[in-house]
Amino acid sequence: MICWMYPGQPIAFTDTYSNDPEFQKIALLCQGTTGFNPMESGTSASSLTQSVRLQLHGVCVSLYRSGQLMSQGRGPDLIAEHSMGIYAALAASGSIDSGAALALTCRIGVAMAGMGLHRDYALGCVIGLTSGPLADIAANHGIYLANHNTSRHFLLAGEREKVEAALAEATASGAFSVSIFSCDAPLHTPLIETIAGELRRIVAEYRFSAPRIPLVEHIGQTPLTAAAIPAFLVDELCRPVYWETTYRTLRSRGVTRFQEVGAGSALAKFNRWIDSET
């Protein structure tokens, strides 16, 4: 059984397939829908924040790679998603079209970027500690565990000064690697609930069909139905990503091959780490 995995926002712009006419079509669709052209990542749509442009860049790459694999007759039995990868995953499942996936990515991203006008937020990556001690450290500093990627790879989210203090404590507690990244909003934390009403209004403008390919969500590891998708799109922004649990669940359901469909190979690396502990 084959599972396609859709990663969230890349941390940097990657090389695109700008010489391929199929990618050019996606780029033009993205530009027409959002103003952002992934073939001009560094300069296009300067009114959008870096985070939103990275999110759109990631979705464009995922849409292109989905099309390439489908054209080769290499479709999946299941689809899994991680964070902002949900929009490309919905398109791949047949629930929405590519234009809607790009529009949703942009509009949700812009709504979250509004939070960054009032606070300086950051993500903190911690490698080496387990969830229990790290959850205590996060609570000590008023921030949250946003991504449970493996048993020892986590993202923290919250206000930058608090994340920095938590990373210092994590290092003192034995973490062997910490790093910090700027972000528009504390994604996958309860802090997003302050804009939940705006997010619901955005999502309500779109129609979602039942996924033709089962799409397993990262919170409860259940296949999404058409009726469940709108609420999930808001709920998942307010709650953590449980990738390790998702991967182990898919393995237990008979998935033998995982194909990462997006920019980079972060999910494949997490999977190898998880497998090494099995």
Q: What does the pLDDT average to over 157-162?
A: 97
CA atoms of 261 and 126, how far apart (whole Å): 25
- 8 A C-beta contact, residue 179 and residue 125: yes
Tens digit of pLDDT for each residue in 18-55? 889 999 999 999 999 999 999 886 667 788 999 999 99
Residue 20 has φ and ψ, to the nearest 5°, of: -90, 125
- pLDDT for position 247: 97
Tens digit of pLDDT for each residue in 185-196? 999 999 999 999
Ordered by start, the domain boundaries in the chain are: 2-115+190-276, 118-183
pLDDT at 15 > cutoff 80: no
- pLDDT for position 243: 98
Tens digit of pLDDT for each residue in 144-157? 999 999 999 999 99
CATH architecture for residues 118-183: 2-Layer Sandwich (3.30)
**What predicted TM-score, i.e. pTM, was given to this entire model?**
0.94
Closest CA to 51 of 138, 121, 143: 121
Give the mean pLDDT of the chain: 95
pLDDT at 98 > cutoff 90: yes
Q: Does domain 2-115+190-276 have CATH number 3.30.559.10?
A: no
Q: What does the pLDDT average to over 258-275?
A: 94
- pLDDT for position 156: 98
pLDDT at 269 > cutoff 70: yes
Counting beta carbons within 10 angstroms of the beta carbon of residue 201, is it exposed (0 to 12), middle (13 to 18) or buried (19 or more)?
exposed
pLDDT at 77 > cutoff 90: yes
- pLDDT for position 44: 73
- pLDDT for position 277: 85
Judge whether 2-115+190-276 and 118-183 match in fold.
Answer: no
Cβ neighbours around 168 below 10 Å, total? 13
Q: What does the pLDDT average to over 255-268?
A: 94
